[in-house]
Amino acid sequence: MDVRRLFDLTGRVAIVTGGSMGLGMQFARALAELGANLALCARKVERCEEAAGELRRLGVKALALRCDVTNPSEVEQMVSRTLEEFGRIDILVNNAGVSWGGPLEDLPLEQWNRVMAANTTGAFLCAQAVGRVMIRQKRGKIINLASVAGLGGSPPEVMDAVVYSASKGAVIAFTRDLACKWARYHINVNAIAPGWFPTHMSEWIIEHRKEFLLSHIPLGRFGGEDDLKGAVAFLASDAANYVTGHVLVVDGGASAW
C-alpha cells in the first residue's frame, strides 16, 4: 500500500480526552489534518466547543462533549454520544490529566488520589468503555499519554512530583499489558511519553528551571506545537498496525543521555 494511504485517516473517528487545549489540541489537530472526525471532551465543555469550531474549518466533523474522565457515568455518556453522532470509534487518545508538585512527605492523600484518578483511573475507564466498542468492531487504536517522568526519577530541584511520575509509570504498565490482552481483537494499544513541552501544567518548572532543563536535552530546545503530531499520526494510522505495547518517547533525546 502507498505510504500516504497508510497515514490517511479520512472517515475515521477519534476521541481525544482533554482535547480542548495544550497537547490534547495538538493531537486533535494532527488527526483532523489527516481526515479524522473528532470528539473532544473535557470538564470545561466551552473550551471544547471553541476547539471543535477551529477543527471544523479543516473540513472534518468535530463534536464537543463535557466529560470528567474520573466519572464512569460521564465516560459512558461520552462514548454513547460519540457513537450516536458517528456510528463508530476508531481511535482513542487518553490525554486528560493533572499533576501536583511538592515533597512526598507533604503530599496530602486527597491530592495523591486526585492525580491517580485523573491520570491512571481515567485512562482505564475510557479504555474500558471505548474498548468494548472496539472489541465488537474487531479493530481500534488506543493511545495513552504517558511521560518521561514515568520512566525514571529526577532530583527534587528539577521536578518534585512523585505522584505524577507514579501515575505515568502506571499508565506505561497498563499500556503494555492491555496491548497483550487485546491484540486478539486487532486493537493496538500504545503510549506517547513526551519530555518537556510548554503547557499550563509545566509552565512553572520551565520558567524557573529553563537553563538546567535545556542543558539536559541533546536537541537543545523544548518541544514545540508540531513535535507530537507525527507521533500521534503514526500510532493512530495503519502505518502502526504491527506496533503495539510500545512507548514512543518524544523528548529531544533527554532520555538518551
Catalytic site positions: 164
Residue 98: per-residue pLDDT: 92
- 181-227: pLDDT as tens digits: 999 999 999 999 999 999 887 888 888 889 989 999 999 999 999 99
* b/e 18-52 (16+ beta carbons within 10 angstroms → b): bbbbbbbbbbbbbbbebebbbbbbbbebebbbebb
The CATH number that applies at residue 203 is: 3.40.50.720
Mean pLDDT of 30-44: 97
Nearest to 20, CA basis, from 125, 96, 118 = 96
Distance, in Å, from the CA atom of 100 to the CA atom of 121, rounded to the nearest integer, reads 16
Distance, in Å, from the CA atom of 232 to the CA atom of 191, rounded to the nearest integer, reads 9
- 166-193: pLDDT as tens digits: 999 999 999 999 999 999 999 999 999 9
Task: Please check whether residue 215 lies inside any domain of the structure.
Answer: yes
State the average pLDDT for the chain: 95
Residue bearing the bigger pLDDT, 249 or 100:
249
Nearest to 255, CA basis, from 205, 194, 166 = 194
Count the domains in the chain: 1
- 69-123: pLDDT as tens digits: 999 999 999 999 999 999 999 999 999 999 988 899 999 999 999 999 999 999 9
Task: Please check whether residue 195 lies inside any domain of the structure.
Answer: yes
Query: For residue 230, how far is the Cα from the chain centroid?
Result: 13
Q: Which residues pair with 6 in a beta bridge?
A: none
Specify whether the CB–CB gap between 168 and 149 falls below 8 A. Answer: yes
Distance, in Å, from the CA atom of 233 to the CA atom of 252, rounded to the nearest integer, reads 18
Distance, in Å, from the CA atom of 158 to the CA atom of 140, rounded to the nearest integer, reads 37
Confidence class of residue 257 from pLDDT cuts 50, 70 and 90? confident
Strand-pair category, 187-194 with 62-66: unpaired
Task: Please check whether residue 108 lies inside any domain of the structure.
Answer: yes
Distance, in Å, from the CA atom of 116 to the CA atom of 171, rounded to the nearest integer, reads 10
State which residues form the domain around 204.
Answer: 3-250
| pLDDT at residue 1 tops 90 | no
Mean pLDDT of 25-54: 96
Task: Please check whether residue 257 lies inside any domain of the structure.
Answer: no
Tell me how crowded residue 198 is: count the other CB atoms within 10 A of its CB: 14
Specify whether the CB–CB gap between 158 and 172 falls below 8 A. Answer: no
Task: Please check whether residue 255 lies inside any domain of the structure.
Answer: no
Distance, in Å, from the CA atom of 146 to the CA atom of 95, rounded to the nearest integer, reads 9
Distance, in Å, from the CA atom of 141 to the CA atom of 105, rounded to the nearest integer, reads 39
Reduced to 3 states, what is the DSSP secondary structure of residue 187? strand
Task: Please check whether residue 186 lies inside any domain of the structure.
Answer: yes
Task: Please check whether residue 256 lies inside any domain of the structure.
Answer: no
Confidence class of residue 156 from pLDDT cuts 50, 70 and 90? confident
Task: Please check whether residue 208 lies inside any domain of the structure.
Answer: yes
